[in-house]
Every structure is written in structure tokens, then in C-alpha cells.
Amino acid sequence: MKRGALLGLLLLTACYRVEKPVPAEAASANPAPVARGDGKTLRVFIWSEYIDPEIVAAFEKENGVRVILDTYESNEAMLAKLQGGGAQYDLAVPSNYVVQTMARAGLLQPLDKSRLPNLKNVGTGFLSAGYDPGNRYSVPYQYAATGLAFNKSRYTPPRVSWELIFGPQDTLRFILLDDPREVVGAALKYLGFSANTTDVSQLRAARDLLRRTVAKRGFQGFDGGPGTRNKLLARQIDLGQIYVGDLLIATEEDENVQVALPQEGTTISMDTLVVLRRSPNPELAHRFIDYVLRPEVGAAISNYTYYATPNAAAQELLDDFLKEVPALNPPAEWLKNGKLDFIDELPAGRPQRLYDRIWTELKSR
């Protein structure tokens, strides 16, 4: 895809973070799609604009099959349609923290690894993550991390660290994401803890830190990625917590706008490929997943979507533009040493309630 198309594409792909869930009754207003069990038609449920049509066409030609793509704009909309019971697909592309929910709901079938020889191409740091130990149900597809953005024509940090926000200084104007897990997770990473901790003492430490942070003169409130991006472009703030992909669009307007990953580490979200329990074509579904895991295919998909690839063998085949954005390509050792934390689903009970109370208190100030 030409780089000039980045603006429109990122506007579309960024929507998934703010899209409201589609009511189940609305999702059922149209006839439910049903996958055919003929072994020649693959029905895929995927985010909008999230795969290169040429890649899909090449798979169809190579295998003499037809691939039907149905799209959604949020995990909630995808779940509502699948749990409604009428729709039937072979494959879906949920975000990592939804995989556990889908597995518990009986929506997924275990993967047959013997049918996925190209799984070896995935970087080891992306395999067997906490959301799916052993990759029983899912394989990594594409991902995005959360970073700190700044406009270097207004302010250039000496080093990119969460300390710029959570440290004792109070000279910078900054914004935090309007996302409880991202904000609490950033405070936890600054303190040296996991972004998924359920340790009450660690959560209390994060709560106290965040209380001090939002009391600073420089705190300009919570906002989404697009809002933070626009305020950076307008030089209304010095720093902003942001999803890396949301910031890329700003570089098209002002090359001084930059994003980097804090040295203490950060959070990361991964979209995955899963085979649905009701798939009537599991063999073809596995063949498609293995095709996506090829180096040249994985690179082509990222070159089209501008999301990062977990496919280590695909890295050298990426467009130069993607290679030039360090925040899209965090060091592999960050996944091994705990600097990058996938946001996991929280267990019910006291830790979940404490996360909720921290966020409610911050938002009410």
C-alpha cells in the first residue's frame, strides 16, 4: 500500500479502540452468515481493513478455494455476533485479552500444531503468552504497543521514561490515555511491577502514585489517541501517553511529532488468529493460518496495515518506513525480560475491584 493511504487506513483501524459495542439485537437484524462445510469456502471474521486483499486472493488461487471476509469494528461486536448463536465462521481475529473469554465460553477449538509448521517463524517472545499458555487456541497476528509521544519542536525529552509523567517534577503538560488498564498499567511499569499484577500492595502503590500524578499542575486530563495526537500537533501539551499506531498519522502532518517506548517498559496488545468451535472447515482454517505465518505473507500484511508483525522471519521484508519506527519494533528481549506486558484479563474478586476503584477515583477528581 502506498504510504499516502496511511491517513485513511489509520483512521479506520484506530476506531476499534473507541467503537461502542453493537447491540445483539442490531447484530441479528440481518441474516446470520453461515460457513459452508464443503472444504472449499473459508469464512473469516476480522477487523475492517486488517488484511491485504491481494494476500487473500493469492491464497484462494493457490488452494482453489474461496475466502469470504466479514468485518467488525470492536471485540464486543464480534463477541455479540458469535454468542448470538446464529452466525457461523471458521476463523476470527480477537485481541489477546478476549481469547480467554472466548475459550471459557466454548467458542474456540484447540489448534492442531501439526498443521502449523510455519509457527516456527513467530518470535519466541510472542509465543505462549499469559493470555494463552502454549498457544492452545491462538497464534499471534499483529500487535501494537503503547508509548510516550512528544512534539520535539516544543519539547525533546532527554530520555523517554515514565518518570517524565510519574516523577516528582511538575514542569511538563501531559495527558494520560482514557483507558484504565493502560493508565494503571503505566504506573505499575514505572514502579517496576507487572501491568497485570493482582498484588494488593502493588496496586495500592500504583493508586498512591496516580493520586499524586493527577494532582500535578501539568496534568491536562485523560484523552483518547486521536485527541492526544491533535493536542501534540497543536503544541498544547508536551507529552502524551498514546497507542503507537495512533501517533503515526501525525508524522504525516508534522515530522517533529515522535513516539517512543518508555525505558521501564510498557503494555502491548496483540490480535490473534483463532479457529472457532463451530467451524465446519477446520482443516482449511489451519491451512490459512499457516499461510499467514509465512514470512513474505506476514510482511505483506504489515506493509498493508502498518501494524507490527510478531513474525520474526518477516522483519527483513518489511517496508523501510516500518523499519524506521522503533516504537513499532520493540527489542525482542523486552518480551523475555518482562518489559512488555500483554494486558491480560483480570480474575474476578478483590484485585478487579481495586482496579475499578482506582480508576473511578482518578476520573472523579
| Mean pLDDT score across all residues of the chain | 86
Q: Which of 33, 55, 54 is nearest to 44 (CA)?
A: 33
Quickly state the pLDDT bin for 106 (edges 50, 70, 90): very high
DSSP-based three-state secondary structure for 35: coil
Note the pLDDT tens digit of each residue in 308-320. 899 999 999 998 8
Question: What CATH class does 41-143+270-328 carry?
Answer: alpha beta
- Please calculate the CA angle 58-86-97 and round it to the nearest 5 degrees: 70
- What residues form the annotated binding site for spermidine? 49, 97, 179-182
Quickly state the pLDDT bin for 9 (edges 50, 70, 90): very low
Per-residue pLDDT at 12 exceeds 80: no
Task: Give the pLDDT confidence score for residue 36 in this predicted structure.
Answer: 67
102 vs 365, residue with greater confidence:
102
Residue 160's alpha-carbon distances to 104, 121, 134, 240, in angstroms, are 39, 31, 33, 12
DSSP-based three-state secondary structure for 137: coil
Q: Which amino acid is at 287?
A: R
Residue 55's alpha-carbon distances to 52, 123, 271, 356, in angstroms, are 5, 22, 18, 42
pTM strictly above 0.85: no
DSSP-based three-state secondary structure for 360: helix
Q: Which of 229-233, 244-248, 282-286 has the highest mean pLDDT?
A: 282-286
Note the pLDDT tens digit of each residue in 131-164. 899 999 999 999 888 999 999 998 999 999 999 9
Residue 155's alpha-carbon distances to 70, 72, 205, 220, 275, in angstroms, are 44, 38, 29, 16, 47
Strands 138-151 vs 266-275: parallel, antiparallel or unpaired: antiparallel
Q: Which of 238, 248, 216 is nearest to 13 (CA)?
A: 248
| Alpha-carbon radius of gyration of the chain | 21
In the chain, ranges of CATH 3.40.190.10 domains: 41-143+270-328, 144-268+344-364
The CATH number of 144-268+344-364 is 3.40.190.10
Note the pLDDT tens digit of each residue in 202-214. 999 999 999 999 9
118 vs 13, residue with greater confidence:
118
Q: What average pLDDT does range 173-187 have in this prediction?
A: 93
65 vs 4, residue with greater confidence:
65
339 vs 39, residue with greater confidence:
339
Task: Give the pLDDT confidence score for residue 35 in this predicted structure.
Answer: 66
Give the count of alpha carbons within 13 A of 361, CB side only.
18
Quickly state the pLDDT bin for 2 (edges 50, 70, 90): very low
DSSP label at 74? S
Per-residue pLDDT at 32 exceeds 60: yes
